[in-house]
Amino acid sequence: MSLYELDSVFKTYHQGPNNIAALRDVSLSIEAGERVSIQGSTGGGKSTLLQLLGVLDSPTSGTIKFDGRDITSMSENDQATLRAQRIGFIFQNYNLIPTLTAAENVECGLVPLEMTKDERHHAVAAVLASVGLSDRSGHLPGQLSGGQQQRVAIARALVKKPSVILADEPTGNLDEETRDEIADLIEQVSAEHGVTIITVTHDSALAKRSTRHLSIRKGIVSES
Ligand SMILES: Nc1ncnc2c1ncn2[C@@H]1O[C@H](COP(=O)(O)OP(=O)(O)O)[C@@H](O)[C@H]1O
Ligand SMILES: [Mg+2]
């Protein structure tokens, strides 16, 4: 069974009198453990696709199965549970909470899950160590470099032991050297934890690290 199966997925946004076809007839399977990059020019539908894969939005028509379950017909509660337990997110702007320490930000990744305080703290310490930030756990995001903030965000995504991490331009705000470090880390995370990684990126150095390349143009996805 594939991790994702998309069948004839359309997504149309209604903007005043206009209909914008952001995804057109997308059919696609993604296997567990793949590292997929998605490239394409602005407005092509990359973020829309990522939002559907993250169960943050629903298609206008078509079906999306996650681990064999049709997410398009699930209740919102079941969708939220699936998201909390199985799907990690990484963003270009890190999206850390500025008033929480690195460790507390990572712990946020666990909030919806039922664990004791000790179990949570143990999990947070382990994952911060695995991204090389044990010595920064008490720092606030503002006291960390961009690369370190993205490491915290990766730790937050990883701490719940997700099946998939969805990343939207994860190296978009980083200098070249730091980009390579984050690319190394993403690759390492995927290998060590068996996590499927789906990355939207303009960064061809990062895209090269993927095991599979998709491109999307005017809402149409193709292998490239
Ligand atoms: N919430 C929205 N409402 C209306 N139109 C949207 C919305 N989100 C995206 N779009 C439109 O859908 C198309 C695809 O957008 P998007 O998925 O963000 O592309 P990309 O991430 O590749 O730049 C664009 O034409 C965009 O303007
Ligand atoms: Mg986008």
77-86 confidence digits (pLDDT tens) = 999 999 999 9
Q: What is the mean pLDDT of the chain?
A: 94
User: Which ligand minimizes its atom distance to the CA of 43?
Assistant: 1
pLDDT at position 224: 86
pLDDT greater than 90 at residue 121: yes
pLDDT greater than 90 at residue 16: no
Q: Which domains does the chain have, with CATH numbers?
A: 33-58+83-223 (3.40.50.300)
Residue carrying structure tokens 């590292």: 35
The residue-averaged pLDDT of 27-38 equals 97
45-54 confidence digits (pLDDT tens) = 999 999 999 9
State in Å: Cα 119 to ligand 2 middle: 36
Contact 35, 210 (CB under 8 A): yes
**Nearest C-alpha neighbor of 178 from the set 158, 198, 205, 197:** 205
pLDDT at position 8: 98
pLDDT greater than 90 at residue 59: yes
Q: d(Cα 95, Cα 135) in Å, to the nearest integer?
A: 21
pLDDT greater than 80 at residue 29: yes
State in Å: Cα 39 to ligand 2 middle: 10
Burial class of 193 by CB neighbour count within 10 A (0 to 12, 13 to 18, 19+):
middle
pLDDT at position 169: 93
The pTM is what? 0.94
pLDDT at position 87: 97
pLDDT at position 102: 98
pLDDT category, 205, cuts 50, 70, 90? Answer: confident
State in Å: Cα 10 to ligand 1 middle: 13
3-state secondary structure of 94: coil
59 CB under 6 A from ligand 1? no
Q: Retrieve residue 195's tokens.
A: 């996590």
Share of the chain above pLDDT 70, in %: 100
Dihedral of the alpha carbons of 205, 169, 221, 45, in degrees to the nearest 10: -150
User: Which ligand minimizes its atom distance to the CA of 169?
Assistant: 2
Element (H, E) at 124: helix 117-130
Element (H, E) at 149: helix 146-158
Packing angle of the helix pair 146-158, 176-193 (nearest 10 deg): 20
